[in-house]
Amino acid sequence: MEDDFNDIVIEALEVFINHILYTRDVYPSQIFKKRRMYNTPVYTSIYPPLNTYIYNVFRILRELLKTRELECVQILLYKDDSKEYEKYNFKVLQMLENKVCEDEFLMEFEEQLRSSLYTLAERLKNLEKLPSDCKFKIQIYTTQAGFVRLSHNPHYQEFPWLRADLKNSEPRKSISLLPLTTLNTSKASKNCDTWKQY
């Protein structure tokens, strides 16, 4: 049951990331193919280099989910280290055990995913077009122990991660925003570090 839940979370993150990249025109629309997920039309990449990158990222995410050390996945649309266009945060927190048991076939969870996808699509379609120099990267929030364990695992040496230098970020005004949507989750550890993969 836990592996099934982890697979659903990974699949959902992949759908959301592809949807953002497609809707925000980070890549040409021709590299995406229309599919149905959660009874909803979505677009997923058919471009091998992008798919390889996403596959390698998700190998790490799956491992961190198993050990309950995955706090947040962040999609960053940017020009360079000093110019960020948009950030999308997916807080991945552990579900309460009794919530998982109550939703034996995870139907309620999938319904929430479908609703979240529609909400995101509605918000994205009204945003201004991004500049043509836009790039993207994925950052993850995990514990230091999780990072150390992965960095010493020989299975992940060919796809190394770097610690993000958040202290040298350009100071910004503090803006409080409501999330686009949420899924039922439980509290997780506040002891997080951020890691990035280009």
In tens, the pLDDT along 48-72 reads 999 999 999 998 888 888 888 888 8
In tens, the pLDDT along 93-139 reads 644 333 455 666 667 877 888 888 888 888 888 899 999 989 999 98
In tens, the pLDDT along 74-97 reads 999 999 877 899 999 988 764 433
Domain architecture of the chain: domains with CATH? 1-162+169-175 (3.30.900.10)
Cα distance between residue 37 and residue 27, in whole Å: 21
In tens, the pLDDT along 35-51 reads 998 788 889 999 999 99
State the DSSP code for 134: -
Q: What are phi and psi of 84, to 5 degrees?
A: -105, 135
Burial of 193 (0-12, 13-18, 19+ CB in 10 A): middle
Burial of 122 (0-12, 13-18, 19+ CB in 10 A): exposed
